[in-house]
Amino acid sequence: MPDQSPVLSLPYIAPSQAQKHVTHNEALRKLDAIVQLVALDSALTDAPAVPNEGDCYIVAGGASGLWATHDHDIAVYDNDIWMFYAPKEGWRAEVLATGTTLRFDGSAWQDAGTQLQNLPEVGINTAADSINRFAVASEASLFTHEGAGHQLKLNKNASGDTGSLLYQTNWSGRAEIGLMGDDDLAIKVSSDGNTWTEVLRFDGTVGSATFGVDVNAQSVNATASFNMPVYASAGLPSAVTEGEGAVVYVTGAAGGPEPYYSDGIDWRRFRDGTVLS
């Protein structure tokens, strides 16, 4: 029969043992030290000059003096001597000096509160899943700077993949903005989450803008489509009236009617939804 317990190494009382209270009290002292473990500090490498009965410390690495050779052990001041207990992997301790929780990983004590790397899923006030591995349910989410600016990054693997912001109504897509299937910035909308219409595209190479609808076709109904007045003309007016607002002229230029857009300062010509000049 073994003479101590397998987990906490508490001494057993042997049959017909004399002075059983010695063995029993030793086990109680050990339980008192390591159950609900609370240490005063975990940064000391040597014993404090004037300890109090029952003071408990986690010995830091590089121990010396009265604590020499007891790196990472639990040191308890008991009956005017230091008692040392070797922790087992997985033990946890509250450290009063720092207000942190430590976990023994088998060789050293680590901050249990910072072991948040490579978690498979994180759900805040809601459940995450294998697709939405980070999920938040709240009235708002705040990402702010730390001393200067702040960037929100959406990184995709390859040009043919998607990196976008998807806006939904009752979990059904209604608008999407981003790099969808290529490296052009595009905006598209949907009324049912299934059929999508591209509204605007910015070419990632040359920086030109393309409307998702044919401006030639839409210019005849520009008042409804663009909220602009439309004028039919054989040629453009020689001058643009400052402050005139946005207007569209449909001209009889070579190659067929082409709409011209004015912002009250300059003229811009469109063909198949592309700004030409």
Q: Considering the entire predicted model, what is its pTM?
A: 0.48
Residue-level pLDDT at 224 = 38
Whether pLDDT at 96 is above 90: yes
Q: What angle do CA 13, 18, 19 make, to 5 degrees?
A: 80
Write the CA distances from 173 to 127, 152, 227, integer angstroms.
20, 21, 26
- H/E stretch holding 20 reads helix 20-34
CA-to-CA separations, 260 to 30, 185, 201, 218, 231, in angstroms, rounded: 89, 24, 19, 12, 10
Q: What is the pLDDT of residue 246?
A: 43
* Whole-number pLDDT of residue 21: 74
**pLDDT at residue 19, as a whole number:** 83
Owner of token pair 């050990």 = 30
Q: Which range among 18-27, 172-181, 259-268 has the greatest average pLDDT?
A: 172-181
SS3 sequence of 104-149: ECCCCEEEHHHCCCCCCCEEECCCCCCCCCEEECCCCCCCCCCCCC
Are 248 and 222 in contact by the 8 Å Cβ rule? The answer is yes
Residues of the chain with pLDDT > 70, as a percent, come to 71
pLDDT tens-digit map of 13-62: 788 778 877 777 777 777 767 788 999 999 999 999 999 988 999 999 99
Q: Do 272 and 215 contact (CB within 8 A), yes or no?
A: yes
Instruction: Report residue 169 as tokens.
Output: 């109504």
Residue 251, H or E segment: strand 247-251
CB 44 within 8 A of CB 96: no
Cα 85–Cα 77–Cα 70 angle in degrees, nearest 5: 40
In this structure, the strands spanning 162-169 and 92-95 are unpaired
What pLDDT sits at residue 214? 46
Q: What is the pLDDT of residues 107-153, one digit of tens each?
A: 999 988 766 677 889 999 999 999 999 999 999 999 999 999 999 99
